[in-house]
């Protein structure tokens, strides 16, 4: 389990709000934690529960992680903390009814009780209505935490009874860490983290053969640009156009191409730790010797202009042919 300090690095605003509420003894009776998968919602829910039950919190809010309550919460068997997750595809009325029955009893260890509902947006209509009745008569000793990635699917009457806390998307560094935790090769994670701040999308990209092949085609195009414009145009015809067919695919290809030029600039500036095409770093170090910082800046401007024109519905084939000529020259894309 991550500590308060570690989670504060991921969600500083959320932790600051909770800290203030705990210190001022103003915890809400119901919270809605909303944000993408992997942004720390469940971990911070558990952290909040530990802050409530900890026998010896530091500064009054940071769980000690050593007391009996903290250890039991970490192991998932504290009698006054209840976790509800979807039974199959949804959270059913019976699950909420059993929760209500449990909370009608006196707390085992203290007066406090906490319940967490993961994927609260998956409650059936009957379950949601049952929960609403529960929320309408809050106990001062009960804290509810609803977790969701899609708050718009939750009944407005439930939302109105919760204090909503927005979890921000992961930073690049945090996403890299999460991707590696989920089995992504540490040489691939930095590149993926430059293209998305969504853990699910990042994991999908990692397993996408089209994306893996696209990286090779983009690197090959750059290699041809180092030779002459004719070979680069041939590379477009032989590889690029057959792979990057749809508008969003062309846009993804341009993003990858832009990252190559950024990497070259980082290498020239001695910032190799910021390179994201790690699998190509040896070749990129050689390529970086063949260009100037000014030329790389012009080439990146050309790619950004191409992206703008793509979104303005310029013909993708004509756009790429013009871009290749400009990149080969190293001048701005007119």
DSSP string, 263-311: HHHHHHTT-GGG-S-GGGHHHHHHHHTTS-HHHHHHHHHHHHHHHHHHH
CA-closest candidate to residue 310, choices 248, 238, 256, 265: 248
Buried-exposed string 10-22: b where 16+ CB fall within 10 A, e elsewhere: bbeebbeebbebb
pLDDT, position 108: 63
Count Cβ atoms within 10 A of the Cβ of residue 50 and give its class: 0-12 exposed, 13-18 middle, 19 or more buried: buried
Q: State the DSSP code for 74.
A: H
**Each residue of 164-195: pLDDT tens digit?**
999 998 889 999 999 999 999 999 999 999 99
pTM of the entire structure? 0.74
Could you report how far apart the first and last alpha carbons of the chain are, in Å? Answer: 53
What 3-state class would DSSP assign to 32?
strand
Structure tokens at 1: 């389990």
Sites in the chain below the pLDDT cut of 70: 106-110, 138, 330-334
| pLDDT value of residue 214 | 97
DSSP 115: E
Lateral strand order in the sheet of 142-148: 81-84, 113-117, 142-148, 30-34, 163-166
Dist CA 159 CA 155 (whole Å): 6
């Amino acid at each position: 389990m991550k500590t308060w300090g570690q989670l504060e690095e991921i969600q500083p605003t959320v932790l600051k709000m909770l800290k203030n509420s705990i210190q001022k003894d103003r915890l809400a009776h119901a919270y809605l934690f909303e944000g993408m998968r992997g942004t720390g919602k469940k971990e911070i829910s558990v952290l909040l529960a530990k802050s409530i039950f900890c026998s010896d919190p530091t500064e009054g809010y940071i769980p000690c992680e050593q007391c009996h309550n903290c250890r039991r919460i970490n192991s998932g068997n504290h009698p006054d903390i209840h976790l509800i997750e979807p039974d199959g595809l949804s959270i059913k009325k019976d699950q909420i009814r059993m929760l209500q029955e449990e909370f009608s009893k006196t707390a085992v260890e203290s007066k406090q009780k906490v319940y967490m509902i993961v994927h609260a947006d998956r409650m059936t209509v009957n379950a949601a209505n049952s929960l609403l009745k529960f929320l309408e008569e809050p106990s001062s000793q009960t804290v509810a935490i609803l977790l969701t990635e899609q708050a718009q699917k939750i009944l407005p009457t439930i939302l109105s009874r919760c204090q909503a806390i927005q979890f921000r998307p992961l930073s690049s560094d945090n996403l890299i860490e999460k991707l590696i935790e989920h089995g992504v090769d540490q040489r691939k994670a930095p590149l993926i983290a430059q293209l998305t701040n969504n853990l699910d999308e990042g994991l999908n990209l990692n397993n996408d053969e089209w994306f893996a092949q696209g990286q090779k085609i983009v690197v090959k195009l750059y290699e041809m640009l180092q030779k002459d414009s004719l070979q680069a145009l041939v590379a477009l015809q032989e590889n690029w156009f057959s792979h990057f067919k749809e508008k969003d695919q062309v846009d993804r290809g341009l993003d990858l191409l832009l990252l190559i030029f950024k990497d070259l600039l980082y290498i020239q500036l001695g910032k190799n730790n910021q390179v994201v095409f790690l699998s190509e770093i040896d070749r990129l170090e050689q390529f970086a010797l063949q260009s100037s910082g000014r030329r790389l800046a012009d080439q990146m401007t050309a790619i950004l202009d191409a992206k703008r024109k793509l979104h303005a519905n310029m013909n993708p084939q004509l756009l790429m042919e013009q871009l290749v000529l400009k990149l080969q020259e190293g001048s701005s894309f007119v």
